[in-house]
Homo-oligomer: A and B are copies of this chain.
Amino acid sequence: MTIVKMNAERQDVTALMAEIGRAARAAATKLAHTPTKQKDAALLAAAMAMRANVDDILNANAEDVADAVKNGLTPAMIDRLTLDVKRVEAIARALEDIAALPDPVGTKIAEWDRPNGLHIERVRTPLGVIGIVYESRPNVTADAGALCLKSGNAAILRGGSEALRSSKAIHASLIEGIVASNLPEASIQLVPVADRAAVGEMLRGLDGNLDVIVPRGGKSLVGRVQDEARVPVFAHLEGVCHVYVDRDADLDMARNIVLNSKLRRTGICGAAETLLVDEACAATHLKPLIEALIAEGCEVRGDAAAQAVDARVKPATEEDWRTEYLDAIISVCVVKGVDGAMAHIVEYGSAHTEAIVTGNAATAERFLTELDSAILLHNASTQFADGGEFGMGAEIGIATGKFHARGPVGVEQLTSFKYAVRGTGQVRP
């Protein structure tokens, strides 16, 4: 390709993305005060359309999958990409679940009266235009678009090129629902080209028409977005989550929680990656915990103490303590009580999710109070780190930043607020 042609195409993408941004802003202005019923009707109609169009969606997906096989994508990637009737039905049902959530927009977060008679309300408002940059899961197209719509935000979706046909087919059903409910078509836009320059334009903020970016995918995608975005980002780079088994832990409870935290699903961000065992109970707890993990097929990499109790334990390197395996591998370390555990977590963790197992309420309080991860659990599995499990409904992701949204990012976290002040002619003395 000549440089002239490349520049021309680059300019085309810039112009296309600018136009998408303007259309999104115009749609967002309307969505900000669209009645709940009208938004919900769009989502329900989209779910119906999804079911009616299941053949189109599966045909488009089959083409994507065929290309993926041809291009040598990994089995895990192909699995994430592949749809079937059951998965399409799950996508449709997720739209209905989102429609059933309470509408955050317009709700009062707080209200109070002033001595001068002013009545002050803090009222939820949408954020505006939300950009979602994701990889090969086509269901994100529907989930993320629906969460934005429900919270009164316009969405700009930029999915992975390997799922573009699937995403377009799903997006067509969303548009059917949006049009049926008389909302602006630009309420949920899908970037129609695979050109990577489109992501660069989104990171630069589309001339002020993009308010926040949510990256969904692997560490390299999230890292690029966090490093380069000129607008706020809701994300977590990784979840190096810990389970700390304290001297006052019941061994059976500890074993259940450790196995579940690590192995229920190894590929999610709330999966535990490191087990910390209090030296005061290492003599009784360390060996059975390691044996249980190995018996369930988990590779164990440990410090000297962990290696000493089982010959199958491999030596852990300094790098292991910082690693999010997302696989059936765990690092194990003996620490000096809750202080040692907290020091290890501060040093090596990613401030996502940590659990303590202990029967000692005072020790648990210290762990929950002094650590500053997004989610801290006492006597429960780290795999509960999930908006649905928290009862917050569907989530667009989990954030580890401390600004605006933290932990599961659901419809409430996709809103801002404003102050509505009602008076009777008050002026300031």
Known: A32-B372, A372-B418, A423-B378. A403 touches B232 (CB 8 A): yes
Q: How far is the CB of A325 from chain B (nearest CB, A)?
A: 18
A7 an interface residue at 8 Å Cβ cutoff? Answer: no
Chain B residue with the shortest CB-CB distance to A428: B383
A125 an interface residue at 8 Å Cβ cutoff? Answer: yes
Residues of B within 8 A of A427 (CB): 256-257, 259-261, 264, 380-381, 383
Q: How far is the CB of A420 from chain B (nearest CB, A)?
A: 4
- The stretch of A42-50, A91-99, A331-339, A384-392 in contact with B is A384-392
Interface string of A236-272 (1 = CB under 8 A from B): 0000000000000010010011011100100000000
Which residue of the partner chain, among B127, B407, B422, contacts A418 with CB atoms under 8 Å?
A: B407
- The stretch of A14-22, A112-120, A163-171, A293-301 in contact with B is A112-120
Contact A384 B253 (CB under 8 A): no
Q: How far is the CB of A209 from chain B (nearest CB, A)?
A: 14
Residues of B within 8 A of A264 (CB): 427-428
Contact A421 B384 (CB under 8 A): yes
Contact B424 A417 (CB under 8 A): no
Known: A264-B428, A402-B128, A427-B383. A420 touches B106 (CB 8 A): no
Q: How far is the CB of A412 from chain B (nearest CB, A)?
A: 10
Contact B406 A404 (CB under 8 A): no
Q: How far is the CB of A286 from chain B (nearest CB, A)?
A: 19
In the assembly, how many copies of this chain are there? 2
Residues of B within 8 A of A369 (CB): 33, 106, 420
Contact A422 B378 (CB under 8 A): yes
Contact B418 A118 (CB under 8 A): no
CA distance A112 to B425 in the complex (A): 40
Contact A379 B423 (CB under 8 A): yes
Which residue of the partner chain, among B374, B379, B428, contacts A389 with CB atoms under 8 Å?
A: B428
Task: Give the interface size bracket for A toward B.
Answer: 35 or more
Contact B253 A425 (CB under 8 A): yes
Contact A403 B212 (CB under 8 A): yes
A376 an interface residue at 8 Å Cβ cutoff? Answer: yes
A148 an interface residue at 8 Å Cβ cutoff? Answer: no
Chain B residue with the shortest CB-CB distance to A426: B380
Which residue of the partner chain, among B125, B261, B374, B421, contacts A375 with CB atoms under 8 Å?
A: B421
A319 an interface residue at 8 Å Cβ cutoff? Answer: no
Contact B426 A376 (CB under 8 A): no
A181 an interface residue at 8 Å Cβ cutoff? Answer: no
A368 an interface residue at 8 Å Cβ cutoff? Answer: yes
Contact B403 A404 (CB under 8 A): yes
Interface string of A214-253 (1 = CB under 8 A from B): 0000000000000000001000000000000000001001
Interface string of A400-416 (1 = CB under 8 A from B): 00111011000000001
A211 an interface residue at 8 Å Cβ cutoff? Answer: yes
Chain B residue with the shortest CB-CB distance to A232: B403
Chain B residue with the shortest CB-CB distance to A380: B423
Contact B425 A256 (CB under 8 A): yes
Known: A384-B421, A419-B374, A423-B377. A120 touches B428 (CB 8 A): no
A151 an interface residue at 8 Å Cβ cutoff? Answer: no
CA distance A404 to B416 in the complex (A): 7
Q: List, sorted by A's number, 30 A–B pairs whose CB atoms are closer than 8 Å.
A: A33-B369, A33-B370, A112-B391, A118-B384, A120-B390, A232-B232, A253-B425, A257-B425, A264-B427, A264-B428, A368-B420, A368-B422, A373-B418, A375-B418, A376-B419, A376-B421, A377-B421, A377-B422, A378-B421, A378-B423, A379-B426, A380-B422, A380-B423, A380-B426, A381-B426, A384-B421, A384-B426, A406-B418, A407-B418, A407-B419
